[in-house]
């Protein structure tokens, strides 16, 4: 796995800006649509990172951040209305923070994709034929590292939406009667995947297996 | 009359309290500038000697945790 010196999305923006200016005329229309959407994603992510950095600056302890207040705080009517507008921003920040925390973020992304690859490889060996596995490899080779990574992260996110949230606590620990064995998660450890993320990867890789099974032997 | 649904922070700006989450004996207060909704910050509410204080979080990790707590709670409420 490539270790990024810069942030994931800055690299994405770099590659797609470079690609936008190095294609021949016959590919321009198709590439422009893809490139512009990827550039837009990268720009949105860059903005989210800026908001997140400001959040860190304003929230992390310094000598001035201790003030007495008169009574306990609670969300009021206006705060609840503001929350409805702000929720999508905070959801995005949480995603960015989990994925791109300085010094840890690329590990989070690479852990997800690395675990995805490991699980998928095991399933392919058990359930797919040689030609089906070759078909998958060919599809991967037609993409590039960044495209493949984005696709896998997208599959994991979509799979996560299919999970029953009531089976997990707020840290992603499975609190149902499931007997699934999980890889240990410790927030101080390098391996940062919660049980919920591991379940999402399990679902996502099952879908890939089903797709390539359907391509026949 | 004191309005505890708002807080004026050290920068002199008044923020709305949009959420309060209790976790692991901590109370996280989520604050948004109603005039600029990208201006967001998080504090902890603590009590010492019968007085209530808002203090900053310890590090980025704690901020990330607070973001996760907010997301999990509010996404669960949406479902």
* Token pair listed for B68: 């996760």
Alpha-carbon gap: B25 to the closest alpha carbon of chain A (Å): 15
Q: What is the pLDDT of residues B34-78, one digit of tens each?
A: 999 899 999 999 999 999 999 999 888 889 889 988 988 887 666
Q: What is the pLDDT of residue A3?
A: 37
Q: Region of B33 please: left (phi>0), alpha (psi -120 to 50) or beta.
A: beta
Chain A nearest-CA distance from B6, in A, is: 7
Determine if residue A46 is left, alpha or beta; phi over 0 gives left, psi from -120 to 50 gives alpha, anything else beta. Answer: alpha
As given in the structure block, the two tokens for residue A148 are: 């493949």
Q: Is the pLDDT of residue A34 over 70?
A: no
- pLDDT single digits (tens) A111-142: 788 889 989 999 999 999 999 999 999 888 77
Q: Does B64 touch chain A (CB under 8 A)?
A: yes
Closest in B5, B66, B75 to A76, CB measured: B5
Contacts of B19 in chain A (CB under 8 A): 75, 79, 83
- Tell me whether residue B11 is exposed, middle or buried, using C-beta atoms within 10 angstroms of its C-beta: 0 to 12, 13 to 18, 19 or more: exposed
A163 touches chain B (CB under 8 A): no
Q: What is the pLDDT of residues B43-53, one digit of tens each?
A: 999 999 999 99
User: Band of the pLDDT at A104, cuts 50, 70, 90?
Assistant: very low
Q: What is the domain partition of chain B in residue ranges?
A: 6-78
- Supply the pTM of this predicted model: 0.53
pLDDT digits (tens, 9 = 90+) for A137-173: 988 877 666 567 767 877 888 888 899 888 887 677 8
Whole-number Å distance between alpha carbons of A35 and A18: 10
- Compute the count of residue pairs across chains A and B with CB atoms less than 8 Å apart: 162
What is the Cα–Cα distance from A167 to A196, expressed in whole angstroms?
9
Q: A85 vs B37: CB contact, 8 Å cut-off?
A: yes
Q: Is residue A106 helix, strand or coil? A: helix
Q: In what order do the strands lie in the sheet with B6-8?
A: A66-69, B51-55, B36-48, B26-33, B14-23, B6-8
Chain A hits for B68, Cβ within 8 Å? 94, 97-98, 170-171
Q: Which of B8, B28, B35, B43 to mutate to test the interface with A (most CBs of A within 10 A)?
A: B43
Mean pLDDT value of segment A25-48 = 63
Among A59, A68, A92, A96, most B C-beta atoms within 10 A, so best to mutate, is: A59
- Count the Cβ atoms, other than its own, within 10 Å of residue B66: 26
Among partner residues A78, A89, A91, which is closest to B38 by beta-carbon distance?
A: A89
């Amino acid at each position: 796995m490539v270790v990024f010196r810069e942030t994931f999305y800055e690299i994405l923006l770099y590659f797609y800006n470079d690609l936008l200016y190095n294609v021949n005329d016959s590919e321009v229309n198709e590439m422009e649509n893809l490139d512009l959407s990827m550039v837009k994603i990268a720009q949105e992510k860059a903005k989210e990172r800026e908001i997140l950095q400001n959040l860190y600056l304003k929230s992390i302890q310094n000598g001035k951040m201790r003030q007495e207040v008169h009574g306990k705080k609670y969300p009021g009517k206006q705060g609840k209305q503001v929350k409805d507008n702000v929720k999508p921003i905070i959801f995005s920040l949480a995603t960015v923070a989990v994925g791109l925390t300085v010094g840890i973020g690329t590990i989070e992304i690479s852990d997800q994709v690395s675990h995805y690859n490991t699980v998928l490889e095991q399933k392919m060996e058990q359930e797919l034929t040689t030609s089906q596995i070759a078909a998958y490899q060919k599809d991967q080779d037609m993409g590039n590292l960044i495209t493949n990574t984005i696709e896998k992260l997208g599959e994991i996110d979509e799979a996560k939406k299919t999970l029953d949230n009531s089976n997990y606590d707020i840290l992603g620990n499975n609190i149902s009667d499931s007997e699934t064995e999980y890889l240990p998660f410790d927030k101080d450890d390098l391996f940062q995947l919660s049980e919920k993320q591991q379940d999402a990867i399990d679902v996502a890789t099952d879908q890939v297996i089903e797709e390539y099974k359907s391509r026949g032997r | 009359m004191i309005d505890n649904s708002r807080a004026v922070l050290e920068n002199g700006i008044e923020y709305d309290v949009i959420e309060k989450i209790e976790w692991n004996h901590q109370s996280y207060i989520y604050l948004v500038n109603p005039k600029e909704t990208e201006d967001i910050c998080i504090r902890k509410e603590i009590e010492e000697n019968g007085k209530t204080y808002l203090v900053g979080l310890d590090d980025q990790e704690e901020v990330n945790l607070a973001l996760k707590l907010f997301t999990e709670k509010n996404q669960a409420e949406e479902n």
